[in-house]
Structure 1
Amino acid sequence: MDPQCRGHQAGRDQARPVRQARVGRRGPRRHAAADGALRTDVTAVVAHNDLLAIGVIRRLAQRGVRVPADVSVIGFDDIFAADFVHPSLTTLAGPGSHAGRLAVELLIEQFAARSPRENEAIRLPTELVLRESSGPAQQV
């Protein structure tokens, strides 16, 4: 097992409580997500997408916050640039085009049936791509 995976396993084994805070862009401030996260004293930021996560990493660096030593950052999309930001971005890779195709198929099926469909859970495959931007939380 590589050192980063061991670090993630160690973090899970410590079973520390998770503190959740919702932050985001408010008004014209470009750095609201990163600044909001810092105000709440979180140890990780899970961004809506990789571009936002890359912006968070850049802002944290401007503020002297070390990623992942002080705060882990995780994105979603696994875009091409995720490998090239420093530190490289841990991200959740999703089935982008497959999800879009499935959504259109479900809509067409629903319109053809002319009746609402029962609530149904549809699970799409994802993959956690571990890179350098995540690690175990600091002890409080």
Structure 2
Amino acid sequence: MKIIIDDLSKPKVIQLLTEHLDGMKANSPPESIHALDLEALRKPEITFWSAWEGLEVTGCGALKRLTVHHAELKSMRTAKSHLRKGVATHLLHHILIKAKERGYKQVSLETGSTEAFKPAHKLYERFGFSYCEPFSGYSDDPFSTYMTKQL
């Protein structure tokens, strides 16, 4: 699997992000969706990675700078055809290494709280993330789960 910094211009990546946003809409009410669209992911404080097997995109993830020492994990998604093949594990491992290299001391995330998000919770738990209070402008929301990890 090849993981690259992506400029969000490839049609396959755009399709994966569309799938990601559609999944959020299907599993959370509009006011509880915090997934970023293409324009938001292109902001300078965000680095976006895509994962590839040959010419096929297998997944994506992003890291948003919150402060000098704190970043937020965003837009983690595995392509449907690559679920349960370790894509998310490889991506998360890669992003956490990059976060350490950039000097971050903490990485946090917001994800959904419904049954559809339980596999994500388990992944983050395996990587040492713990549940936490809302951070960086988020608020209590029954459809959101907040997690953090000290690096």
Q: TM-score, normalised by structure 2?
A: 0.30
Larger radius of gyration: 1
- The structure with higher relative contact order (CA 8 Å, sep 6+) is 1
Higher strand share: 2
Q: TM-score, normalised by structure 1?
A: 0.31
